[in-house]
Amino acid sequence: MAQGHTITIERETLRVRAVHGDRVLAESDRPLVLRETGCPVRYYLPAEDVRVDLLTPSDTRTHCPFKGTASYWSLPGAPDLVWAYPDPKPDVAAIKDHFCFYEVSVSPA
């Protein structure tokens, strides 16, 4: 990691739910919480807890020097709403096979 830049990943005991409109896209009581310098807290949900059948893969790719290359998924009218790191860098390997959403609600499990 660059000096002064940190990423921590921890298992969380909260229930996390991702909803778009009236559709529940994901719900998990076993998310990972990722805290990264200069970025909002993000929850990464296991693929098994995500309704991937509702999502369409996007051609969008972004690169993070700390996490690797992200792939994105969309809904009709909501491009690139979800992302994941299919082959994350070793320091963040825990987020492999997990999806992240721009907006989630968090509640006690």
Looking at residue 1, its pLDDT comes to: 60
For residue 81, how many other CB atoms are within 10 A of its CB? 19
- 37 within a domain of the structure (yes/no): yes
- 2 within a domain of the structure (yes/no): no
- 82 within a domain of the structure (yes/no): yes
Looking at residue 7, its pLDDT comes to: 97
To the nearest 10°, the Cα dihedral for 88, 93, 41, 1? -80
Give the structural domain span for 95. Answer: 7-108
Number of domains in the chain: 1
**Could you report the average pLDDT of every consecutive run of 10 residues in the chain (109 residues)?**
85 91 93 96 96 96 97 95 97 97 76
In CATH, what number is assigned to the domain containing residue 73?
2.170.150.40
- 43 within a domain of the structure (yes/no): yes
Looking at residue 81, its pLDDT comes to: 94
- 100 within a domain of the structure (yes/no): yes
- 1 within a domain of the structure (yes/no): no
Looking at residue 109, its pLDDT comes to: 53
Torsion over CA: 79, 35, 23, 30 (sign): positive
- 29 within a domain of the structure (yes/no): yes
